[in-house]
Amino acid sequence: MENFKKIQMPTPLVEMDGDEMTRIIWKMIKDILLKPYIDLNTEYYDLGLENREATKDQVTIDSANATKKYGVAVKCATITPNADRVKEYNLTEMWKSPNGTIRAILDGTVFRAPILVKGITPYIPRWTKPITIARHAYGDVYKNVEMQVGAGCKAELVVTHPDGTEERETILDFKTPGIIQGLHNIDKSIESFARACMNYALDRKQDLWFATKDTISKKYDHRFKDIFAEIYENEYKERFEAAGIEYFYTLIDDAVARVVRSEGGYIWACKNYDGDVMSDMVATAYGSLSMMTSVLVSPEGVYEYEAAHGTVQRHYYKYLKGEPTSTNPVATIFAWSGALRKRGELDHVPELCSFADKLEQATINTITDGVMSGDLAALCTIPNKRTVGTEDFMAAIGEHLEALL
Ligand code: NAP
Ligand code: MG
């Protein structure tokens, strides 16, 4: 070990620390799995709730701007305050979701992909490769305007042009009471979404699927289809062909049927609502939220890696009481490996990329050897499996890593 030359990082990685059990795991990952091998060069932002309060949430904004500057970030799970948390942490304000703030500044799209391990069989066993879901995170029903309508009312859609003229369309002459809803989206946001998806497909060298209900929604959903098609034809077609990957558009019903029959191994771009519903379906079908990674990609190609799960509050309270915990660090480890690999690619440091590969391999080897956290043991079909606590799981991964290096 003494003559071991640690891997150097010419450019800092933006490090966003977080809350509760994941904050404990965060430190363990750095101490046990990273610092012995890498001269860890990070620009550190403490997004723990106490420091968000102390900085009036400026730290979240600063961390997002630093991500824009350096291009790659890794983020720990953070508390999104609700009324209970305002009391618990004595907050002066119910600070917004850090992920929401960061996503708004980076104008990014979130890609969620499962980590597959032999012995942990998806509920859909045909899915032998990951399906990555990309959810458009703006508009549609999430920014709707809705009303209840009484009998005898006429509901209309009215658009007022800049010169004051009006365009109208009747929704319905209500004979009996009912409901209406107004949805919108913005071309610019759909364009950003399309570019983020296409950049990510090129990055991962995987096909990109997109689906809407354009046969029924001939203007609204059709606009999504057209924007994707235009951007693909004008900006990406040649690069996709050179990479040997495909952009595939189909109807949402057809997409669902194909996804279930597929082996996985592609990126599925979803409109906001479809992505909300399908990401939970896909995550559950693959097994566990604690094995889901998440990466935010901006249209300019800035990357922020994290785990899809939260701060695992229930485990943290046990940990504080000194009770044993068995928290799964895998998605957080893969957030670090993803970020280090991307940093290595951008800075041309192949040792960093190869370290990231080995870190992932060591993590998977630990599980296939039968050592795992309780949530995995509950799903795992390996005969001689052993459930271990948070610290022992991390130590076992550390041993596998040392063996690989
Ligand atoms: P959570 O932290 O994801 O945990 C929910 C439950 O899922 C846990 O109680 C645990 O089940 C299981 N679980 C999740 N991750 C696990 C892991 N790594 N290892 C083992 N089990 C795991 O969600 P939550 O409890 O609803 O939210 C807690 C806090 O996280 C909230 O304050 C929320 O705002 C925040 N949050 C942050 C993010 C983010 O930063 N991206 C995302 C979601 C939520 P058992 O208790 O049954 O073992
Ligand atoms: Mg949902």
Atom 16 in ligand 1: residue holding the nearest Cα: 290
Asked whether residue 131 falls in the same domain as residue 280, the answer is: yes
Asked whether residue 135 falls in the same domain as residue 230, the answer is: yes
Last residue of a domain, one of 256, 286, 316: 286
Find the CATH number of the domain harbouring 309: 3.40.718.10
Each residue's pLDDT tens digit, 206-242: 999 999 999 999 999 999 999 999 999 999 999 999 9
DSSP string, 180-224: EEE----HHHHHHHHHHHHHHHHHHT-EEEEEE-TTT-TTHHHHH
Domain membership of residue 54 (yes or no) is: yes
- Four-CA torsion 220, 225, 228, 230, nearest 10 degrees: -100
Rounded mean pLDDT, 121-138: 90
Q: Tell me: pLDDT of 360 over 60.
A: yes
With a 6 Å cutoff on the Cβ, whether 265 touches ligand 1 is no
Asked whether residue 268 falls in the same domain as residue 130, the answer is: yes
Q: Tell me: pLDDT of 145 over 80.
A: yes
Q: How many domains does the chain have?
A: 3
Q: Tell me: pLDDT of 2 over 60.
A: no
Domain membership of residue 335 (yes or no) is: yes
How many CB atoms neighbour CB 310 within 10 A? Answer: 16
Which ligand has the minimum distance to the alpha carbon of residue 289? Answer: 1
Place of tokens 């189909």: 250
Q: Tell me: pLDDT of 168 over 90.
A: yes
Asked whether residue 316 falls in the same domain as residue 364, the answer is: yes
Asked whether residue 95 falls in the same domain as residue 24, the answer is: yes
Confidence band for 250, pLDDT divided at 50, 70 and 90:
very high
Dump strand ranges (E) for 220-355: 247-251, 266-270, 292-297, 303-307
Asked whether residue 242 falls in the same domain as residue 125, the answer is: yes
Percent of the residues in the chain that have a pLDDT greater than 70, as a whole number: 99
Domain membership of residue 28 (yes or no) is: yes
CA 25–ligand 1 middle distance (angstroms) = 13
State the chain's mean pLDDT as an integer: 94
Asked whether residue 277 falls in the same domain as residue 343, the answer is: no
The whole domain housing 48 covers 1-108+300-405
Asked whether residue 130 falls in the same domain as residue 236, the answer is: yes
Q: Tell me: pLDDT of 323 over 70.
A: yes
Token pair for residue 73?
Answer: 């970030």
Rounded mean pLDDT, 134-148: 90
CA 166–ligand 1 middle distance (angstroms) = 49
pLDDT for 12: 98
- 3-class SS letters over 239-269: HHHHHCCCEEEEEHHHHHHHHHHCCCCEEEE
Q: Tell me: pLDDT of 1 over 80.
A: no
pLDDT for 3: 56
DSSP state of 109: E
Domain membership of residue 237 (yes or no) is: yes
Confidence band for 67, pLDDT divided at 50, 70 and 90:
very high
Q: Tell me: pLDDT of 90 over 60.
A: yes
CA of 331, closest atom in ligand 1:
18
- Furthest C-alpha separation in the chain: 84
Asked whether residue 127 falls in the same domain as residue 271, the answer is: yes
Asked whether residue 167 falls in the same domain as residue 200, the answer is: no
Domain membership of residue 294 (yes or no) is: no
Q: Tell me: pLDDT of 35 over 90.
A: yes
CA 5–ligand 2 middle distance (angstroms) = 45
Last residue of a domain, one of 222, 257, 286: 286
Q: Tell me: pLDDT of 270 over 90.
A: yes
Domain membership of residue 293 (yes or no) is: no
Asked whether residue 197 falls in the same domain as residue 219, the answer is: yes
Domain membership of residue 319 (yes or no) is: yes
Asked whether residue 160 falls in the same domain as residue 208, the answer is: no
